[in-house]
């Protein structure tokens, strides 16, 4: 069977396996020492005072909604170019989702369009969730200015951006946002298998988050070892020590992983730059792109090629691509509830029409890169491109 080249893949070595084995042999394999160690390491790496690890990035977003008491009547702003989890956490808190279109360079939420909405709306805007799409930071300086001016919480959905920098600062996410979420899914810059976290600088918030992830149990050991109280409904969003052990080991290699991703991206840039009907990702001068994704834009309309045909042909050659993402306003739930029109989101729709996520991950070889690019050129230009 032909080996498939996926758009993303994890990278596990002996050190990862050894530390997970060590966690398996410890006295606690959940709520133990590896959880605390992973949280400490993440806080240090990303320059936050506190960190709460949870079962996945979706849980992290949902818990923030519960922490900030999002409810009916609240409006939360976010980008239409993200995974389902971003707006779903808003809806599950009974708040209203308001999509703001992206700007065309970085494909992140457009601060100018955010401010245009804020000037006109009479709705109570409670928060904004910005997504560092593909690993390129949003314009966080502008978003922070708007958050201060219009008095709303700023949240960084940083699940694509571990290892990214803004103005050469790895801790930029926590510097500008009130709360930051991360995801450690296997295709991300580092993995704990499944897992996520919430970073913040607020002790009370961190305390509440750690209670909320554990079914909202508040233990009272002074009265009796088995005593606990619950003051609000919570969930089991804990992350096991096995996952945390893997995360601890992977975090040590994050800088190397990002360096390798950037090297692959540079090779793609050199191959695709100035090619007709192709747009390569942008990296602004003040940014350091971590390339969770390499989002190539191909003008299928000009080329008179159907996107689904292109994907099928690539898969026939053993290359499994992906699209990030179907704009969220096109999903039946959001389209029906908010009566959304594509014409109101021209930038994100045009991006979706062209976007293709091509393989990028540590371990991808030069031969594989050349194979992928050769097949792309062969299909869209009908020839072997030199």
| DSSP symbol at 103 | P
CB contact set of 339 (below 8 Å; sequence gap of 6+): none
- Candidates 3.40.50.300, 3.20.20.70, 3.90.1150.10, 3.10.20.30; CATH matching 254-381: 3.90.1150.10
CA 17, 18, 23, 24 dihedral sign is positive
CATH architecture assignment, domain 5-251: 3-Layer(aba) Sandwich (3.40)
Tokens encoding 26:
């410890």
CA 200, 289, 187, 332 dihedral sign is positive
What pLDDT score was predicted for residue 2? 65
CA distance 343 to 286: 32
CB atoms within 10 A of CB 219: 14
**Same fold? 5-251, 254-381:** no
31 alpha carbon, distance to own chain's centre: 25
pTM comes to 0.96
What pLDDT score was predicted for residue 172? 98
Dump the DSSP string for 243-257: HHHHHHHHHTTHHHH
Q: Where are the domains of the chain?
A: 5-251, 254-381
With contact defined as beta carbons under 8 Å apart, do 77 and 128 qualify? yes
Per-residue pLDDT of the chain (386 residues; tens, 9 = 90+): 468 999 999 999 999 999 999 999 999 999 999 999 999 999 999 999 999 999 999 999 999 999 999 999 999 999 999 999 999 999 999 999 999 999 999 999 999 999 999 999 999 899 999 999 999 999 999 999 999 999 999 999 999 999 999 999 999 999 999 999 999 999 999 999 999 999 999 999 999 999 999 999 888 767 777 788 888 888 999 999 999 999 999 999 999 999 999 999 999 999 999 999 999 999 999 999 999 999 999 999 999 999 999 999 999 999 999 999 999 999 999 999 999 999 999 999 999 999 999 999 999 999 999 999 999 999 999 854 44
| DSSP symbol at 186 | T
| DSSP symbol at 141 | H
> Which residues partner with 182 through β-bridges?
197
* Strand pairing class (355-358; 294-298): antiparallel
CA 26, 31, 32, 36 dihedral sign is positive
> Which residues partner with 279 through β-bridges?
297
């Amino acid at each position: 069977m032909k080996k498939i080249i996926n758009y993303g893949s994890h990278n596990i070595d002996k050190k990862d396996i050894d530390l997970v084995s060590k966690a398996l042999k410890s006295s606690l394999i959940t709520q133990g020492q590896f959880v605390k160690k992973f949280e400490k390491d993440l806080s240090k790496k990303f320059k936050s005072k506190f960190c709460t690890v949870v079962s996945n990035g979706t849980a992290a977003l949902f818990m923030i909604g519960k922490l900030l008491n999002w409810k009916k009547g609240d409006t939360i702003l976010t980008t239409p170019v993200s995974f389902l989890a971003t707006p779903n956490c808003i809806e599950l808190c009974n708040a209203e989702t308001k999509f703001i279109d992206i700007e065309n360079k970085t494909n992140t939420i457009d601060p100018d369009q955010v401010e245009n909405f804020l000037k006109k709306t009479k709705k109570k805007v409670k928060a904004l969730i910005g997504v560092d799409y593909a690993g390129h930071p949003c314009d966080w300086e502008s978003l922070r200015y708007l958050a201060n001016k219009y008095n709303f919480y700023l949240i960084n959905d940083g699940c694509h951006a571990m290892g990214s920098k803004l103005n050469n600062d790895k801790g930029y996410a926590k510097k500008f946002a009130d709360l930051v979420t991360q995801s450690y899914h296997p295709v991300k810059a580092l993995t704990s298998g499944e897992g996520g976290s919430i970073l913040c600088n607020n002790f009370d918030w961190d305390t509440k988050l750690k209670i909320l992830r554990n079914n909202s149990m508040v233990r009272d050991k002074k009265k009796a070892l088995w005593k606990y109280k619950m003051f609000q409904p919570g969930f089991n969003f804990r992350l096991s020590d096995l996952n945390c052990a893997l995360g601890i080991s992977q975090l040590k290699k994050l800088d190397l992983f990002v360096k390798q991703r950037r090297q692959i991206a540079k090779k793609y840039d050199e191959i695709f730059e100035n090619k007709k009907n192709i747009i390569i990702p942008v990296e602004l001068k003040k940014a350091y792109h971590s390339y969770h994704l390499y989002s190539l834009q191909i003008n299928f309309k000009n080329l008179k090629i159907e996107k689904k045909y292109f994907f099928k042909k690539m898969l026939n050659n053993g290359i499994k691509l992906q699209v990030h993402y179907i704009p969220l306003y096109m999903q039946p739930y959001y389209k029906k509830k908010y009566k959304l029109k594509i014409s109101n989101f021209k930038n994100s729709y045009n991006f979706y029409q062209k976007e293709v996520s091509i393989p990028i991950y540590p371990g991808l070889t030069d031969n594989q890169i050349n194979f992928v690019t050769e097949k792309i050129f062969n299909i869209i230009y009908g020839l072997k491109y030199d």
